[in-house]
Amino acid sequence: MKIAFLDRDGVINAFPGFGNYVTKVKDFHFLPGAIDSIVELTKEGYSIFVVSNQAGVGKGLYSKGKLETINVHMLRHITKAGGRIKKTFYCTHRSDAGCDCRKPRTGSVEKALKGMNKTIDHAKYAYFVGDDKTDIEAGINAGCKTILVLSGKNRSKDIKSWDITPDYVVKSLKEATKIIIHENSHHPRNSR
């Protein structure tokens, strides 16, 4: 079993800026190479899940309906290109809500695995790709290999102050996909 968990903003689409949210379809812009990367992972047999914190809903900045419209738009373009997202998980709670689905907690990852009747121990290759410390923490907490992309919220200098270290730091989802596929084809390892 091969799994890739992807954050959304800053990984698949352009990061809207600190304190901002993608609240309309017209504000959702795919990053260069993102769709092709998802298509490539799909062809390699990865089960791909999007796991994203979207607290703007909990703050009343946009509705769950608007979030769903943006999600449908994203999935339509990915599917049309030949990619497949198995499921999307959005935590719409505010950061102070204490829910288990908000990264760095692993509630959404656990729901994804439960839907497959698997645990992370069944995964031969499990990756978490994100643009922020909370993504890397969620990946570590879930037992995944972690890849930080610098196409969103953080820069390489920001990582120096972190108390955790991603397995890889790359420029984009395209580069992350190259690592995932290279490890898969050149460095086979036993299931954990």
181: left (phi over 0), alpha (psi -120 to 50) or beta: alpha
pLDDT of res. 123: 79
Based on the residue annotation, tell me whether 167 is a catalytic residue of this protein. no
* Domain spanning 2-186: CATH 3.30.70.370: no
- pTM of the model as a whole: 0.94
Based on the residue annotation, tell me whether 163 is a catalytic residue of this protein. no
pLDDT of res. 191: 37
Mean pLDDT of the chain: 94
What tens digit of pLDDT does each residue of 148-170 get?
999 999 999 999 999 999 999 99
Task: Give pLDDT < 70 ranges for the chain.
Answer: 186-192
Q: What is the 3-state secondary structure (H, E, C) of the chain?
A: CEEEEECCECCCECCCCCCCCCCCHHHCCECCCHHHHHHHHHHCCCEEEEEEECHHHHCCCCCHHHHHHHHHHHHHHHHHHCCCCCEEEEECCCCCCCCCCCCCCCHHHHHHHHHCCCCHHHCCEEEEEECCHHHHHHHHHHCCEEEEECCCCCCHHHHCCCCCCCCEEECCHHHHHHHHHHHHHHCCCCCC
pLDDT of res. 186: 65
